[in-house]
Structure 1
Amino acid sequence: MANTLFLLSLSIIWLMLLYHMFLMQGGYLHFLRYENTIPQWRANLKVYPKVSILIPCHNEEVVIENTLKAMVKLKYPPEQLEISVINDNSNDRTGEIAEGFAEKYPFVKVVATEGEFAGKGKSSALNYGLSQSTGSIVVVYDADNTPESMAVQYLVMAMVNDPKAGAIVGKFRVINAKKNLLTRFINIETICFQWMAQAGRWFWFKITTIPGTNFAIRREILDRLGGWDVKALSEDTELTIRVYDLGYHIRFFPAAITWEQEPENGKVWWKQRTRWARGNQYVIMKFLLKVFTLKRKGIIFDLIYFFFTYFLFFFGVILSNILFFINLFVDLELKIGNVALILWVLAYFLYITEVMIALSIEKTEMNIRNFFVVLFMYFTYSQLWILLVMYALFLEVKRVLFKQEVKWYKTERFTIDKGS
């Protein structure tokens, strides 16, 4: 029995590793090709549609000034731009700082949430901001984001040239990557997500997940869908499934770049990632039972992938670790001990290879320091995710059983110094 379980767990782990290598190949090919479309797309952008940028904010005085400084430098016709700072029950200087920009720039406005929309989290704030906006294209940025000057124009350019795209997703990078070891881990994780999960899935399957920031979506789609799901902690993933189910695809276009702040200590990271994991688990359970009624059959594969990632893969890793640990003290008569060791070593090297390929795409990230960070990352940061997913699953099960209300956790911000 122990041998069967051990083989099962190893099979699950290797299946995921090989699939991620397949995605990484697609991501690298997408990197080589995506810029080829830009000259023609730029020529086709003769009329700039009205764009509404929604920035949900709750106590963001630490970061909102830098964000708005980046927003007012966007290379997009100001008469076709509407930047809405959605002030959601802030009790700091967020509103005051935003109002200062609104007085100087006519395309910046401050919208304060009211009534049933106030203090309910990001989804609710976005829904209120949407109701107060007028653009035919809606772009979302988190309050800690500083998009590059061409970011919005690239998002719009891709959408105008791809009528089948319901949304366009850009790339995000970590602005405080060099702060400490944790932010270096997150930086590497983020780069892998961009080029493996986003670019790879787009290249092979024309599937991309809407992130929480730096994306554009057609207003008509949001109107048809009724906006964002206020019960979803990962409102971005949940929205992704519904956009695909309308028959649209979501394009990954990494020319549109934003820089965002990431957690700088373990406590903030744990809370943020727990929200992400719970949110994705909610989405899986919400749509997995409806999997055969979804109109866009391609998204079924992605739902299965999410299910595999957040349930089966972590189950496989946990099971193999438990069996390995028990076997140190009790002879389980594992007959594949040497083979398992070889497979584990090969899996480790495959993991390193995948990550280094992703880092090679970003010119500044392929260096000796990051190589050693990756070696260490597998035994620390990656293993911590296992505990986090288990904890998130426990919280989700408890929420469902006891019918608890979903509570939104806003990620704590940090002052960015010049050395970060």
Structure 2
Amino acid sequence: MREKNERQFAQERKFAHASENFVATHDAAENFAASNVSSEKFAAENLSRFAVVICAHDEENVIGNLLENLQAQNYPAEKFHVFVLADHCSDGTVAKAKRFGRVTVWERTGGERSGKGAVLNWGMDRILKKQREFDCVLFFDADNQIRPDFLLHMNEAFAQGAEIVTGRRLTENPFDSVISQWYTLYWAVVNSLYNSPRENLGLSAMLSGTGFAFRMELLRDSGWKTYSLSEDIEFTFLENLKGHRIAYLGAATFYDEQPVRLSVMWTQLRRWCTGDFQIAFRYFGDWMKAFLKNPSWRLWDIFMGVGMTVFFGLTAVSYLAHGGLLIWQGQFPLLAASTLLSYTATIAVGFVAAANSGWPVKKLLPGILTFPVFYSLFSYISLQSLFFPQKKWVRIEHKSSRMHF
């Protein structure tokens, strides 16, 4: 039975745009076995009603794929509705979204286009007025693609008492460039070495901007309001301060297009780092009060997750200072040894994360061998963002990369 599932999984997971076959192993095969369910299994249960929210700015090339995936969900059609928040769109995004049934398009044309956070603040005010119609809110980016069982798995998690759930993020275009390979490895680290262990320990996972859902009742009193460039991390942080941890659901798989150029990667990482600094500075006092009142490993860990950006910047300063000191002292062998050790350790992390996530290690070898470069750049971008924060959200263009399920 397991061999049959693996063969079926291999046939489904083809990247049409790259003519590359990604045959997942290990936990990916297990996730497919767990996902082989049907809506009949839940017929007698109380199914959650989902408001599916998609933010879009000029996403005509990709939004159709996600909407088709949602139409093909193994979940009762009357139990979810899609809301597309079209932000200052000048292409055919609105027209394409309106072609699909069970889709409501809200167009935002007033004011300045200032990023996803502002769009969500605007759109969630409308969504929250429909609290009697929905139980949960589910977020996607327009370039995402999802498996037919995504909503079923999310419903299972909420039926078991979860309050906030994030799925497993995989890369749509893992082999397009070394940059996309770095992102593939980065998300593999987040999935298998960050979120999954925390789920097993009862700590909180970290949201990553898309592919997550929460009970609408959580916002009944406070509403949705974020201020930083990293609205996902900010929401994670604020909900943990309220005592609501994020559950990680590896079986709920979704796919996300990643940058392929260094310039785009640099811009995106600057936004992430700037947002993390904004959160750390704005909410440190609130976190301290909550931690002193009710100290817990979960609260400590969630702040360390946000504070990692600060540590990245300090790592860059420390390495330059330490390297300069060793050069001044003529300790070239020690400098070479310490550099080689850290480089090798990072390569090992990339290798383990790729293997645990079922990615073909040989195809990702260029990215694995240069993975330390990614984290080095990340640390310097963090330092740059501390002194020269990114002021505005910069859009990342997406291309169509249709996947077959």
Could you say if the C-alpha distance between residues 45 and 252 of structure 1 is closer, same or farther in structure 2, counting changes exceeding 3 Å?
farther
Aligned to 2:185: 188
Match of 1:411 among 396, 400, 403: 396
Aligned to 2:170: 173
Give runs of aligned pairs for residues 81-92 of structure 1, distance below 5 A. 81-92=80-91
Q: SS in structure 2 opposite 1:259? A: strand
Aligned to 1:127: 121
Could you say if the C-alpha distance between residues 312 and 276 of structure 1 is closer, same or farther in structure 2, counting changes exceeding 3 Å?
closer
Q: Is the 8 A contact 1:34 1:253 kept in 2?
A: no
Match of 1:112 among 89, 107, 110: 107
Match of 2:385 among 386, 392, 395: 392
Give runs of aligned pairs for residues 253-332 of structure 1, distance below 5 A. 253-294=249-290, 297=295, 298-306=297-305, 308-325=307-324, 327-328=326-327, 331-332=328-329
TM-aligned CA deviation for residue 170 of structure 1 = 0.3
Q: Is the 8 A contact 1:168 1:250 kept in 2?
A: yes
TM-aligned CA deviation for residue 279 of structure 1 = 0.7
Question: Hey, what's the Cα distance between the residues in 1 that align with 2:344 and 2:172?
Answer: 29
Question: Hey, what's the Cα distance between the residues in 1 that align with 2:353 and 2:62?
Answer: 29
TM-aligned CA deviation for residue 353 of structure 1 = 2.5
The AA in structure 2 aligned to 1:121 is G
Q: SS in structure 1 opposite 2:220? A: helix
Aligned to 1:21: none
Could you say if the C-alpha distance between residues 255 and 44 of structure 1 is closer, same or farther in structure 2, counting changes exceeding 3 Å?
farther
TM-aligned CA deviation for residue 243 of structure 1 = 1.2
Deviations 1:361-417 (A, max 9, x none): 222x14224234312221x32221122112211223xx8xxxxxx522222212437
Aligned to 1:360: 355
The AA in structure 1 aligned to 2:357 is E
The AA in structure 1 aligned to 2:218 is I
Give runs of aligned pairs for residues 174-253 of structure 1, distance below 5 A. 174-229=171-226, 231-253=227-249
Question: Hey, what's the Cα distance between the residues in 2 that align with 1:289 and 1:303?
Answer: 14
The AA in structure 2 aligned to 1:287 is Y
- TM-score with structure 2 length normalisation? 0.81
Q: SS in structure 2 opposite 1:210? A: coil
Question: Hey, what's the Cα distance between the residues in 2 that align with 1:232 and 1:85?
Answer: 22
Question: Hey, what's the Cα distance between the residues in 1 that align with 2:283 and 2:199?
Answer: 21
TM-aligned CA deviation for residue 115 of structure 1 = 5.2
Could you say if the C-alpha distance between residues 417 and 97 of structure 1 is closer, same or farther in structure 2, counting changes exceeding 3 Å?
closer
Gaps of 5+ in 1: 1-28, 400-405
Could you say if the C-alpha distance between residues 62 and 251 of structure 1 is closer, same or farther in structure 2, counting changes exceeding 3 Å?
same
Could you say if the C-alpha distance between residues 81 and 44 of structure 1 is closer, same or farther in structure 2, counting changes exceeding 3 Å?
closer
Q: SS in structure 2 opposite 1:368? A: coil
Deviations 1:321-343 (A, max 9, x none): 33324543xx3376xx6566544
Question: Hey, what's the Cα distance between the residues in 2 that align with 1:75 and 1:245?
Answer: 35
Give runs of aligned pairs for residues 53-64 of structure 1, distance below 5 A. 53-64=52-63
Q: How many residues end up aligned between the 2 structures? A: 369
Question: Hey, what's the Cα distance between the residues in 1 that align with 2:290 and 2:233?
Answer: 15
Question: Hey, what's the Cα distance between the residues in 2 that align with 1:166 and 1:80?
Answer: 18
TM-aligned CA deviation for residue 247 of structure 1 = 1.9
Aligned to 1:402: none
Give runs of aligned pairs for residues 31-110 of structure 1, distance below 5 A. 46-101=45-100, 105=101, 107-110=102-105
TM-aligned CA deviation for residue 32 of structure 1 = 11
- Matched residues, percent identical? 20
Could you say if the C-alpha distance between residues 277 and 264 of structure 1 is closer, same or farther in structure 2, counting changes exceeding 3 Å?
same
- TM-score with structure 1 length normalisation? 0.79
The AA in structure 1 aligned to 2:113 is G
Higher helix share: 1
Gaps of 5+ in 2: 1-25
TM-aligned CA deviation for residue 96 of structure 1 = 0.9
Question: Hey, what's the Cα distance between the residues in 2 that align with 1:301 and 1:344?
Answer: 30
Question: Hey, what's the Cα distance between the residues in 1 that align with 2:197 and 2:263?
Answer: 31
Q: Is the 8 A contact 1:30 1:199 kept in 2?
A: no
Question: Hey, what's the Cα distance between the residues in 2 that align with 1:100 and 1:37?
Answer: 33
TM-aligned CA deviation for residue 262 of structure 1 = 1.0
Question: Hey, what's the Cα distance between the residues in 1 that align with 2:251 and 2:336?
Answer: 42
TM-aligned CA deviation for residue 157 of structure 1 = 1.2
The AA in structure 1 aligned to 2:197 is G
The AA in structure 1 aligned to 2:267 is K
